[in-house]
Structure 1
Amino acid sequence: MLRWLTPINAWISRLCMYVAVAGLLGIVTVVTYQVFGRYVLNDTPTWAESLALVFVLYVTMFGAAVGVRDAGHIGLESILVMVMPERHRIWFEILIHVLVGIFGMVMGWNAWVLAESVMPYKIPNLGLSEGLNHIPLAMAGVLITLFSLEHILALIAGKEVRPSWH
């Protein structure tokens, strides 16, 4: 299973980073336009702040999911884990990834329920569904679960998950 899961997860992770970078460029563009409109044109675009906030949600959530896959998040490498004997360390690391995966499932499910419940409402100044604010959270939950599963399988197989950018 790990043989096909790793390339798929690496591809998804890289795609998420490309989307996050595009989102960052979108934030810079929208905020620049907002500042230009406010101070040069003396006509602030009312939609710019709302759109920038939507971009921030996508950048943050996809970045967090990639952080789980590439082990770029804090907390998983503690002193306690490092000083444990190897046979105990692997079980502790598996437990950590199981807990992160459970968190991802719970986050994804509840974010989807929330997104579904607010779909009929519109984001002020944009006219887009309010559910767009919660969809990246649901997607990140699914990705965090998938990436945690990959780490668990790799630990059991005695392998290491290489970051997506290698």
Structure 2
Amino acid sequence: MAASLSRLLIAFGAIGLLAMTAIIGWQVFGRFVLNSSPSWTEQASLILMIWYVMFAAAAGVYEGFHIRIALLEEKLGPSARPLLRFTALVVAVIGLVLLVYGTQLCWAVRGNSVPSLGVSRAVAYVPLPVSGLLMVMFALPQVISGRHSAEDAAGEGEG
């Protein structure tokens, strides 16, 4: 299930990037061809970017494609497990911080609106607590196993 969720998050990120590119393209077309840039494009693309970046970051915890000290892991081999557990624990704590404070931020700005879009400002920040929860869910098995990603766990069983 985690693998399916991770792939769904990556797909959402790809679609979000394409949508943001189309929105910015429309803004540039409006500005230089129509001499009238749409007012909603900048805020929409920024909100969309927050969404797809945060969800891709959560998927990165599961997939293990975040920057890490791979050379150190390779050199230390199985003795790197305490280091991997520690880094996964740090990621889980960061996810917990995003969950708690992201929820508080969404609650605090729920009454404010994005003028050009007419939606609550909280819409922009919903990915913070959601991706924080996902990061915790994806990092905890790594804390327990000492493996950095699902790929590492699968590769270890093949040897």
TM-score range for the pair, normalised by the shorter chain length: 0.7 to 0.9
Contact 2:88 2:148 survives alignment (8 Å): no
Partner of 1:161 in structure 2? 150
Contact 1:68 1:147 survives alignment (8 Å): yes
Q: What letter matches 2:135 in structure 1?
A: I
Q: Note the C-alpha offset of 1:76.
A: 4.6
Is 1:16–2:16 an aligned residue pair?
no
**Pair 76,145 (structure 1): closer, same or farther in 2 beyond 3 Å:** farther
Question: If the length of structure 1 is used for normalisation, what is the TM-score?
Answer: 0.83
Could you list the per-position Cα deviations for residues 21-73 of structure 1 after superposition, in whole angstroms to 9, with x for gaps in the alignment? 11112101111111111111111101100000011101111111111111111
> Identity rate of aligned residues, in percent?
28
Alignment equivalent of 2:65, drawn from 62, 72, 87: 72
Partner of 1:97 in structure 2? 88
Is 1:60–2:49 an aligned residue pair?
no
Alignment equivalent of 1:127, drawn from 100, 118, 133: 118
Which consecutive unaligned segments of at least 5 residues does structure 1 have?
Answer: 1-7
Query: CA separation in 2, counterparts of 1:78 and 1:52?
Result: 37
Alignment equivalent of 1:143, drawn from 128, 134, 149: 134
Cα RMSD, aligned residues only: 2.0
Q: Note the C-alpha offset of 1:108.
A: 1.5
SS at match of 1:162: helix
**Pair 85,41 (structure 1): closer, same or farther in 2 beyond 3 Å:** closer
Question: If the length of structure 2 is used for normalisation, what is the TM-score?
Answer: 0.86
Contact 1:105 1:141 survives alignment (8 Å): yes
Q: Note the C-alpha offset of 1:154.
A: 3.6
Query: CA separation in 2, counterparts of 1:159 and 1:127?
Result: 42
Q: Note the C-alpha offset of 1:159.
A: 9.8
Is 1:35–2:22 an aligned residue pair?
no
Q: Note the C-alpha offset of 1:18.
A: 1.4
Contact 1:119 1:130 survives alignment (8 Å): yes
Q: Note the C-alpha offset of 1:75.
A: 2.5
